[in-house]
Amino acid sequence: MSSGIEALVNREYAYGFVTDVETDTVPPGLNEDIIRTISAKKNEPEFMLEWRLKAYRRWLTMKEPHWGNVRYPAIDYNSLVYYSAPKSVKPLQSLDEVDPELLRTYEKLGISLNEQKMLSGVAVDAIFDSVSVGTTMRTELSKHGIIFCSFGEAVQNHPELVEKYLGTVVPHSDNFFAALNAAVFSDGSFAYVPKGVKCPMELSTYFRINSKNTGQFERTLIIADEGASVSYLEGCTAPKRDENQLHAAVVELIALDNATVKYSTVQNWYAGDAQGKGGIYNFVTKRGKAAGVNSKISWTQVETGSAITWKYPSVILQGDNSVGEFYSVAVVNRKQQADTGTKMIHIGKNTKSTIVSKGISAGEGNNSYRGLVRVLPKAENARNYTQCDSMLIGNKCGAHTFPYIEVQNNTATLEHEASTSKIGEDQIFYCKQRGVSAEHAVSMIVSGFCREVFKELPMEFAVEAQQLLGITLEGSVG
Amino acid sequence: MLEINDLHAGIGDREILRGITLRVKAGEIHAVMGPNGSGKSTLAQVLAGNPSYEVTRGTVSYNGQNLLEMAPEVRAQNGVFLAFQYPVEIPGVSNAYFLRSAYNEIRKANGQEEVDPLEFLDLVEEKLKLVDMDESLLSRSVNHGFSGGEKKRNEIFQMAVLSPRLAILDETDSGLDIDALRIVAEGVNKLRSPENATIVVTHYQRLLNYIVPDYVHVLANGRIVKSGGKELALELEEKGYDWLQEAGAGAVA
Ligand SMILES: Nc1ncnc2c1ncn2[C@@H]1O[C@H](COP(=O)(O)OP(=O)(O)OP(=O)(O)O)[C@@H](O)[C@H]1O
Ligand SMILES: [Mg+2]
């Protein structure tokens, strides 16, 4: 069995290349001047600068957290570059105006900013380093009154919405990395779906880390107004780098009365080489607020990349009858580390949350699930179902689970199921005996293990996940 | 087709097969019988290439090739099929997808074009009838939550779809009800051809009423202690294995 697993585990990162684009950067280091420079470069209104500075001052008083089950050398925040944008950025009307070097990069990645995605009904807002360089399908969306643009554009064109919702789910003071993000974030995505509108297509963004030593601080804000619904896809691949790169993004989701937000991620950043050198540090704060009655926030993530992943997409179930979901696949191999999970905070009555976590550990990878289910005193009849399964491939890897439960209302119903299994030699042999190669056998068994999560992914992403994971998707014929 | 010569194999320090010699020609059906723990499944697994077992001595040639040097999937691609005594469950992978992957990988290895899901479905429907298996089992996970009998039937169904040249059935009859037994046996008989060979491991003479073997071999203590025609199975049914085992033990000493 080992040959197949090793091949799968040790496959060279296919997206490790660097694009040569002139970038406009600020000097390394962080201080109030840098923040003022970023804000000025982005031509931001006063409230944004104030917010950034408030966050920065708060950040200075905070300590980098170390409670995660991950190990990494100290990060020197003063050696990072906090702003980098492709130089030739001006509003673009068509793909012809996009830097051809960039387009080639996307092509190599198999990302089509072009017709394919448009025809398949996906509006693509591609983020290259930190600034959005192209947005498609905006006209179609604007017919429905939907705003989908870069964060920077939203600040310029819809400052009232930004001011109203920014930081309402993840406050500027939330945690060390979120505060840092609030101080220096350069761009990200913004979506607003107005009352009663069901977004007619999947909204999608590709993130890509490129400039050397540039911390990537994305900020995404998605709002579904009363009765609205939206599904958002985030996908990422990054070129190969020798130095570790910090990625500290913040994502805020808001669902008002009867609204639904579904957020799906396939994360495939560079994980470092076989010796564990290089790779992305992915320290992300993702949180949704199911603010209104009958609202719903759903997270689906497939995490395969990064040297270190540290993220807990969470839901605050504030509205009565609101629903929170978290479906996760986290794969680690070589020397990758992942500490990921979710928090479900039940505040409203009859709130319901579902957690399905599938951790796969191979090589010398370490995978931890960390989850918190909290039921506050007023949350009558709260319900949670948690299922947490780990699969081990080989015997140098690790799987850990840290489920925390805090219940302050005795009408709550909580169910927890957990399992740990080794990928079966007998399963692999059975597949091989039927003529299936070891590599295909492993990916088939692993994707079978992840099936409950994969089936939550939108179709477009299902294909993406398949390519990126090298894992065959849930297998059903006809 | 298959020539096994003085085959020794075991696990760790433990020798389980202690010198098996057996010749199977195309078109033949061989039955292998013998008491529990005598090494029947081990023989089947070693022929299929299960890496848990180590071959310590002897040779196996399959259509002139050294079988022992072939990877398990290569054996399968060359027509070796094992119906497992204990079929393995693969949760989350649909039976249909699993089988199509196998079918296509075998075709690919033999320079044939892969079939698309629709073509495959046609083929599958025909074979389902052959073993009278419920179509709903196609969309379920491989063997997951199948009853004992359903698992066995699924093995034969897979065999029917993959149409192997050398099929090894390891106690496919155990756990089957009488009707299922007959259906499975009919399935095997329909696949019988002058180009194919079958090794049937069984405890029961009953199966051999349906699948009539050309030869019957008795395995005891990792050796073939007696071979004969189909009458041998009847004799075993009557007398049990004791008289042979003693002979086998004697041979060791
Ligand atoms: N994986 C294994 N680890 C340890 N011992 C094994 C293993 N496989 C087989 N054996 C031992 O080898 C011997 C032969 O086992 P095998 O399964 O080949 O017998 P069998 O003839 O098929 O028996 P049955 O009729 O019960 O199916 C038994 O004593 C068994 O315990
Ligand atoms: Mg057996």
- For residue range B124-178, list pLDDT tens digits in order: 998 888 888 888 888 899 999 998 888 998 999 999 999 999 999 999 988 888 8
* CA–CA distance, A175 with A191 (Å, rounded to integer): 24
The alpha-carbon gap from A264 to the nearest alpha carbon of chain B, in Å, equals: 21
Residue numbers in A near B158 (CB within 8 A): 434
Residue B248: CB within 6 Å of ligand 1? no
What does the pLDDT look like over A158-191, one tens digit per residue? Answer: 999 999 999 999 999 999 999 999 999 988 889 9
Do A349 and A321 touch, CB atoms closer than 8 A? yes
**Does any ligand 1 atom lie closer than 6 A to the CB of residue B37?**
yes
Between A272 and A120, name the one with better pLDDT. A272
Of A164-168, A199-203, A396-400, the range with the highest mean pLDDT is A164-168
In this prediction, residue A200 carries a pLDDT of 86
**Contacts with B98 from chain A: Cβ below 8 Å:** 431, 434, 436, 444, 475
A158 burial type by CB count under 10 A (0-12 exposed, 13-18 middle, 19+ buried): middle
Ligand closest to the CA atom of residue B169? 2
Confidence at residue A201, expressed as pLDDT on a 0 to 100 scale: 81
* Mutation choice for ligand 1 from B33, B40, B172, B203, CB with most ligand atoms inside 8 A: B40
pLDDT for the residue B194: 93
**In whole angstroms, what is the distance from residue B178 CA to residue A32 CA?**
84
CA dist A198 and B155 (Å) reads 48
Instruction: Quote the pTM value.
Output: 0.78
| Largest Cα span, chain A | 68
Q: CA A435 to CA A433: how far, in whole Å? A: 5
Alpha carbon distance B1, B80 (integer Å): 11
Give the pLDDT mean for B24-49.
Answer: 94
- Report which DSSP code applies to B113: P
Residue pLDDT, tens place only, B71-121: 999 999 999 999 999 999 999 899 999 999 999 999 999 999 999 888 898
| Mean model confidence pLDDT for chain B | 90
Look up the ipTM and state it.
0.94
**Average model confidence (pLDDT) for chain A?**
79
Question: How many CB atoms lie under 10 A from the CB of residue A46?
Answer: 8
Backbone angles phi, psi at A459, to 5 degrees: -50, -50
Specify the pLDDT at position B61. Answer: 96
pLDDT band at A208, cuts 50/70/90?
very low
User: Which of helix, strand or coil describes residue A199?
Assistant: coil
Under the banding of pLDDT at 50, 70 and 90, the label for residue A363 is confident
- Residue A254's nearest CA partner among A327, A158, A161, A175 is A161
Q: Which residues pair with A147 in a beta bridge?
A: A192
User: What are A64-102's pLDDT values in tens digits?
Assistant: 888 777 788 888 888 877 776 655 444 445 555 555 554
DSSP state string for A386-439: EEEEEEE-SSS-EEEEEEEEEE--TT-EEEEEEEEEEPPHHHHHHHHHTT--HH
Answer whether B52 contacts ligand 1 (Cβ < 6 A).
yes
**pLDDT at A468 (0 to 100):** 56
- Comparing A472 with A363, the larger pLDDT belongs to A363
d(CA A475, CA A455): 11
Question: Any CB–CB contact under 8 A between B4 and chain A?
Answer: no
- Of the candidates B43, B39, B2, which has an alpha carbon nearest to the alpha carbon of residue B198? B2
Q: What is the mean pLDDT of residues A21-28?
A: 68
At A226-276, the pLDDT tens digits run 999 999 988 665 544 545 578 889 999 999 999 999 999 887 777 776 676
Q: Which of B46, B50, B67, B73 is the best substitution to test chain A (most A C-beta atoms within 10 A)?
A: B73
Decide: A234 and A272 in contact? Cβ < 8 Å. no
- Residue A406 pLDDT greater than 90, yes or no: yes
Is residue A477 scored above 70 in pLDDT?
no
Does any ligand 1 atom lie closer than 6 A to the CB of residue B42? yes
- Residues near ion ligand 2 (Cβ under 5 Å): B 40-41, 85
Q: Do A436 and B102 touch (CB under 8 A)?
A: yes
Q: What are the tokens at A303?
A: 């995490």
Q: Supply A281's token pair.
A: 């540090």
Q: Is B48 on the interface with A (CB under 8 A)?
A: yes
Q: How far apart are CA B251 and CA A61, in angstroms?
A: 84
Backbone phi, psi, residue A418, to 5°? -145, 150
B229-246 average pLDDT score: 79
Contacting residues for A452 by C-beta, under 8 A, at least 6 apart: A327, A356, A358, A387, B92
A198 contact partners, CB below 8 Å, separation of at least 6:
A228, A229
Residues A400, A370 contacting (CB under 8 angstroms): no
Q: How far apart are CA B50 and CA A425, in angstroms?
A: 9
pLDDT value of residue A355: 96
